[in-house]
């Protein structure tokens, strides 16, 4: 974490500039300086509704297949996020099998497959990992609604 030391040196009080913390579910941050074994984790002091969203696995992984540039998959990811669907995008160029394994490790429910054929048809293939890998072709414009109507609502407790 960097503090705005240059402001202190110039006599400027920048203590109310804000703070941003990036939390990934596999990492834990401790409020007492990082000691392991502490029960005083930073995430525990955040509102319950934030903890649920921060720790939840993204339900969707968008995967470009074949020779499709990752930029196309990133665009689909942006569209889904804009519609309120938590989404990760596989931009590392992994083989399809490796991408599906990653989706399983992430805990994703759906994999959105996007290849040259799908782009030509203005569609995507949605693979439901919880339904045994069942696949459906969905028009790209209808994708956010298709996924949103199948998602389980997240309860807000805080």
Q: Kindly report the average pLDDT of the chain as a whole number.
A: 76
Residue 158 confidence (pLDDT) above 90:
no
With a cut of 50, say whether residue 105 has pLDDT above it.
Answer: yes
User: In terms of C-beta distances under 8 Å and separation of at least 24 residues, what long-range contacts does 72-78 make, across chains too?
Assistant: 72/114, 72/119, 73/114, 76/112, 76/114, 76/124, 76/140, 76/143
From the CB of residue 144, how many other CB atoms can be counted at a distance below 10 Å?
19
- Per cent of the chain over pLDDT 70 is 61
C-alpha 65/C-alpha 70 separation (Å) is 9
Indicate whether 134 pLDDT > 80: yes
The alpha carbon of 85 is separated from its chain's Cα centroid by a whole number of angstroms, namely: 9
pLDDT tens readout for residues 67-88: 888 999 999 999 999 998 989 9
What are the structural domains of the chain? 24-56 (no CATH), 57-148 (3.40.50.800)
- Whether residue 114 is predicted with pLDDT greater than 70 in this model: the reply is yes
pLDDT at 140 over 60: yes
Structure tokens at 118: 């799908």
Nearest to 65 by CA among 118, 101, 106, 109: 118
Q: State the Cα–Cα distance between residues 55 and 25, nearest whole angstrom.
A: 5
Report pLDDT for 65.
93
């Amino acid at each position: 974490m960097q503090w705005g030391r240059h402001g202190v040196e110039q006599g400027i009080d920048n203590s109310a500039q804000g703070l941003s913390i990036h939390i990934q579910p596999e990492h834990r941050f401790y409020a007492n300086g990082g000691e392991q074994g502490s029960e005083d984790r930073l995430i525990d002091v955040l509102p319950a509704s934030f903890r649920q969203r921060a720790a939840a696995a993204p339900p969707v992984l968008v995967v470009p297949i074949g020779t499709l540039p990752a930029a196309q998959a990133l665009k689909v990811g942006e569209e889904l996020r804009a519609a309120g669907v938590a989404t990760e995008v596989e931009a590392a160029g992994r083989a399809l099998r490796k991408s599906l394994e990653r989706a399983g490790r992430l805990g994703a429910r759906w994999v959105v497959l996007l290849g040259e054929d799908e782009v030509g048809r203005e569609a995507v293939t949605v693979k439901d990992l919880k339904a045994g890998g069942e696949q459906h072709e969905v028009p790209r414009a209808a994708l956010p609604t298709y996924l949103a109507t199948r998602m389980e609502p997240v309860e807000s407790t805080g």
